[in-house]
């Protein structure tokens, strides 16, 4: 009838191949644009410690009483160290609890950071009541003083600290360092957990077979008696006897309610400090910024409301005097108070960018409930991992070659499309690995490579499902061209179901697993998702293009000759049966 538009029926599953291939090409272009024009690093994935080597540090826990550390505190310490690792952006690091020890494994050149991750990180603000007194630095240590002030440590413990000459005022609330060299940090600080008072060691039994360490408990008690005395004469004696280069048994165990004789972190000066004014738990935030008054960087501190009031009242009453920032019993800096600081406080000390960022990071995270000492630090060689990687890659290449030969022999043109799809899938995976390494610090290890190899099998299974569905359609008497959309509709549901099961298994494994197994689960899940992208945007469109080609669609080249012959026989039989019935 005139004016009535006829609707043309479309075959389910029929697509516009070039539209899908163009979309995939756009994804490739975007990924590799990000790889080559962002990040500034090499366009290669980050490798794990088993492939590139690194550093392994073992931290041994200790308690004030010398007893075996409680399990819950060890677990809490492990979680805090993991947060510190994440805050530092050290990719591929593993933090494993082994008995009373915590083992930190850092790939690449991050070993120096790993050695300091076990710092207890108890930050306390104490007034300076004596010093500084010069100390003998460790052998080979630079004794030059750097800082914004011009003062130098005096050898007279009774002499008051001299105000730095020509010290800039800076912003409101600026606190400038005096004669104390800043030290680089890589461990967080905040939230110190009170250490329980020493008590009697529990009786040995099956649940607590390790006895207390009486030597450690005695050393801590002796250090407290000498260095935390209220007697001025004892304080002067402690100043003379304190060896800044020796191991400090009081580290992380100083009593905040008593005075403290402490060394600076650069081991060049000693101070007598008063009782704690403010705990690091009152810090709300810490950020590192460029010094607006000159070169270098500063750390800006914001306190919680109660801490801001305490700090403001103290600084208002002690203008011109020194106050020390004490980290785990060591003086980070001893700045001179120049104004009442009720708002933001700026700690400056000629920090480099890395030093300021590490200190700010240290101030943002919780302190450890236990003290740790580095009992072992070793460099891990990547020789064994590289040998294993080489053997695995050879095995993978041989396996893929056999798969390719089989596909070419059994599927012919469809086998070529399988090879092309796998190559394009590898290109996407490589770009994603590089970007994940830059953005979230993901590192590729042997377990992750195993996940990719398993995922290749899943991808090949998707091709097989699709191609076998095509054979079923041709066997039923359809042409290659008409079989593609119908076979895709039937295969698509099976492919989605299979990949959904694989992804769910990978997700559950990632949630429940630890260590390198997480890397295996992550790469398996990621590859499963990328498999869907390749099958939907590449394999199906390429097969549709091949079916529309007179050359590639011929039964001899498509690998469908035998099933096409069976289909033709079935059509003849059906036609003959219809003619006979008529």
- Taking only the tens place, the pLDDT of each residue in 236-267 is 888 888 888 887 777 767 788 889 888 887 78
The more confident residue out of 438 and 533 is: 533
- Listed as own residue / partner, the contacts of 94-97 with beta carbons closer than 8 Å and 24 or more positions apart are 94/49, 94/515, 94/516, 96/514, 96/515
Whether the CB-CB separation of 181 and 147 falls below 8 Å is answered with yes
Gap between the Cα atoms of 306 and 558, Å rounded: 78
Handedness of CA 246, 247, 248, 252 (dihedral sign): positive
Closest CA relative to residue 279, chosen from 261, 300, 259, 256 = 256
pLDDT score of 141: 47
Gap between the Cα atoms of 448 and 258, Å rounded: 52
Q: Could you give all domains of the chain from N- to C-terminal order, each with its CATH number?
A: 17-44+382-581 (1.20.1640.10), 54-108 (3.30.70.3400), 122-195+211-364 (3.30.1360.200)
pLDDT score of 106: 75
Gap between the Cα atoms of 259 and 272, Å rounded: 7
Q: Once rounded to an integer, what is the mean pLDDT over residues 485-505?
A: 91
278-321 pLDDT, tens digit each: 887 788 888 888 888 777 888 888 888 888 888 888 988 888 88
pLDDT score of 525: 92
pLDDT score of 179: 31
Specify the residue for token string 């007697």.
Answer: 231
At residue 369, φ and ψ (nearest 5 deg) are: -75, -10
**Which two structure tokens, joined as six digits, stand for 461?**
């299974």
Whether the CB-CB separation of 112 and 140 falls below 8 Å is answered with no
For the chain, the residue count is 582
pLDDT score of 171: 28
- Measured from the Cβ of residue 505, the count of other Cβ atoms closer than 10 Å reads 14
**Which two structure tokens, joined as six digits, stand for 315?**
């600084």
Gap between the Cα atoms of 509 and 473, Å rounded: 38
Lowest mean pLDDT among 186-200, 324-338, 428-442: 186-200
Mind spelling out the 3-state secondary structure of 262-306? EEECCCCEEEEECCCCEEHHHEEEEEEEECCCCCCEEEEEEECHH
Gap between the Cα atoms of 12 and 473, Å rounded: 14
pLDDT score of 92: 62
Whether the CB-CB separation of 271 and 132 falls below 8 Å is answered with yes
What percent of the chain clears pLDDT 70, i.e. is strictly above it? 69
**Which two structure tokens, joined as six digits, stand for 3?**
């004016």
Strands 278-279 and 174-176: unpaired
* pLDDT band at residue 348 using 50, 70 and 90 as cut-offs: low
pLDDT score of 208: 36
* pLDDT band at residue 1 using 50, 70 and 90 as cut-offs: very low
Q: Once rounded to an integer, what is the mean pLDDT over residues 84-89?
A: 62
Strands 297-303 and 283-290: antiparallel
pLDDT score of 518: 82
pLDDT score of 116: 60
Whether the CB-CB separation of 181 and 330 falls below 8 Å is answered with no
Average pLDDT over the chain, rounded to an integer: 73
DSSP H or E run through 492: helix 480-512
Helices and strands in the chain: count of H runs, count of E runs: 16, 16
Flag whether pLDDT at 475 surpasses 60: yes
Flag whether pLDDT at 115 surpasses 80: no
**Is residue 114 classed as helix, strand or coil in its secondary structure?**
helix
**Which two structure tokens, joined as six digits, stand for 82?**
């993991």
* pLDDT band at residue 497 using 50, 70 and 90 as cut-offs: very high
**Is residue 312 classed as helix, strand or coil in its secondary structure?**
helix
Closest CA relative to residue 219, chosen from 332, 444, 340, 63 = 63
Gap between the Cα atoms of 371 and 102, Å rounded: 12
């Amino acid at each position: 009838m005139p004016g009535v538009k006829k609707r043309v029926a479309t075959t389910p599953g029929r697509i516009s191949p070039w539209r899908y291939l163009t979309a995939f090409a756009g994804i490739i272009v975007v990924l590799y644009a990000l790889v080559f024009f962002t990040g500034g690093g090499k366009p290669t994935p980050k490798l794990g410690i088993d492939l590139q080597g690194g550093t392994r540090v073992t931290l041994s826990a200790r308690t004030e009483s010398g007893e075996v550390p409680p399990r819950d505190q060890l677990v809490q310490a492990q979680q805090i160290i993991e947060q510190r690792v994440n805050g530092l952006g050290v990719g591929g690091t593993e933090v494993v609890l082994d008995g009373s020890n915590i083992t930190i494994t850092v790939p690449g050149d991050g070993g120096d950071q790993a050695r300091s991750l076990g710092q207890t990180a108890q930050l306390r603000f104490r007034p300076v009541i004596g010093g500084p007194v010069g100390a003998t630095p460790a052998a080979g240590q630079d004794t030059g003083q750097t800082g914004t002030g011009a003062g130098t440590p005096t050898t007279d413990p009774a002499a008051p600290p001299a105000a730095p000459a020509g010290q800039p005022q800076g912003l409101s609330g600026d606190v400038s360092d005096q004669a104390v060299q800043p030290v680089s940090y890589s461990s967080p600080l905040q939230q110190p957990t009170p250490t329980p008072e020493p008590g009697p060691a529990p009786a040995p039994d099956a649940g607590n077979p390790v006895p207390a360490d009486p030597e450690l408990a005695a050393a801590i008690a002796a250090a407290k008696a000498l260095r935390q005395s209220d007697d001025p004469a004892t304080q002067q004696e402690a100043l003379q006897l304190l060896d800044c280069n020796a191991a400090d048994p009081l580290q992380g165990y100083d009593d905040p309610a008593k005075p403290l004789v402490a060394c600076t972190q650069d081991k060049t000066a000693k101070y007598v400090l008063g009782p704690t004014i403010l705990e690091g738990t009152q810090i709300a935030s810490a950020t590192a910024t460029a010094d607006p008054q000159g070169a270098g960087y500063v750390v800006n501190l914001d306190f919680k409301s109660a801490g801001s009031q305490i700090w403001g009242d103290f600084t208002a009453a002690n203008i011109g005097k020194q106050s020390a920032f004490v980290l785990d019993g060591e003086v980070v800096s001893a700045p001179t108070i120049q104004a009442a600081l009720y708002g933001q406080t700026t700690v400056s000390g000629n920090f480099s960018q890395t030093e300021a960022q590490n200190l700010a990071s240290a101030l943002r995270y919780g302190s450890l409930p236990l003290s740790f000492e580095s009992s072992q630090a070793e460099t891990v060689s990547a020789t064994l991992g590289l040998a294993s990687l080489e053997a695995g890659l050879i095995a993978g290449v041989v396996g893929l070659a056999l798969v390719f030969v089989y596909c070419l022999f059994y599927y012919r043109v469809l086998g070529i499309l399988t090879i092309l799809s796998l190559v394009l899938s590898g290109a996407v995976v490589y770009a994603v690995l590089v970007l994940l390494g830059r953005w979230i610090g993901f590192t590729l290890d042997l377990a992750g490579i195993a996940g990719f190899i398993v995922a290749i099998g899943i991808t090949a299974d998707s091709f097989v499902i699709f191609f076998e569905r095509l054979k079923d359609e041709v066997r039923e008497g359809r042409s290659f061209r008409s079989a593609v959309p119908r076979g895709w509709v039937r295969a698509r549901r099976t492919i989605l179901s299979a990949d959904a099961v694989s992804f769910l298994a990978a997700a559950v494994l990632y949630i429940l697993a630890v260590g390198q197994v997480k890397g295996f689960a992550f790469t398996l899940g990621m590859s499963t998702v990328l498999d869907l992208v390749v099958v939907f945007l590449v394999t199906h469109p390429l097969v549709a293009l091949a079916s529309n080609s007179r050359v590639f669609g011929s039964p001899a080249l498509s690998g469908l000759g035998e099933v096409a012959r069976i289909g033709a026989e079935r059509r003849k039989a059906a036609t003959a049966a219809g003619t006979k019935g008529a």
